[in-house]
Amino acid sequence: MNAVRRAISQLLVSVSLALGLWTIAAPVPASAQLNDGMSSLVAPFTIEVNGRVVGQVVVVGGANTDPPPGYTAGTEYWTWTGGRPWREGFTLVPRPTVPRHGAFSWQTFPHERFDLSRTVSFPAVSPGVDDAFYEVQIAAATGWVDQGYMWLDTGSPTVQTWYGIGLTKDLVGDGGPIRFRTVEPPAAGSAAVYLLDRPDPGGTP
């Protein structure tokens, strides 16, 4: 009987150690621009204004080794199919299927991830008259939750600059709608924000 108890005790210790090692090895949640489907690493959205579809977005994760035909890993694809693009407000609504790449003319942006290891004070920014500055929010049971800001610089090429707030993973959104609303930029130093995880100018990763 004692031998059985010892065996059970040793088994429980082994299981506890294994679970402890798994917990240590598990990745710490980090927080990227737009949700990329997480497990599927591809996330299609419709762009909607007042319930009307005015465009499409497809986000392809950087680790996607088999993206849909025509698409490239680590890229966000935007297209506007109705009305004026980059308007004052719009919502990205998840759709069930990825549109055929050749069906649209796409504007592309790199799909990057936020560096959640530190925050910085919100910088002084001065969007141009043709630029757009958006507040970005995600749908939650309690309403719309702030996730940060996106500055669309309409120069050549057009560039998106993201500032994350209150992120718990390295993607904005968790599979639900994502809302963009034009706002005035916050005052410099008024908020602590996450920046995208980009190599510094000196080349250090």
127 inside domain? yes
11 inside domain? no
12 inside domain? no
33 inside domain? no
Mean pLDDT split into 10-residue runs, the chain, 205 residues: 47 38 33 56 95 96 94 96 90 96 96 94 95 95 94 93 92 89 96 84 41
Residue indicated by tokens 């959205």: 45
134 within 8 A of 183, measured Cβ to Cβ: yes
183 inside domain? yes
What's the number of domains the chain is made of? 1
Residue numbers of the domain that contains 62: 42-193
How long a stretch of residues is the chain?
205
Beta bridge partners of 136: 148, 180
The answer to pTM > 0.85 is: no
Q: Which of 131, 142, 145 is nearest to 178 (CA)?
A: 145
Per residue, what are the HEC states of 105-139?
CCEEEECCCECCCCCEECCCCCCCCCCEEEEEEEE
32 inside domain? no
187: which residues sit within 8 A by CB, 6+ positions away?
Answer: 122
114 inside domain? yes
Cα distance from N-terminal residue to C-terminal residue, the chain: 59
Specify the pLDDT at position 82: 86
Specify the pLDDT at position 86: 92
Specify the pLDDT at position 87: 87
65 inside domain? yes
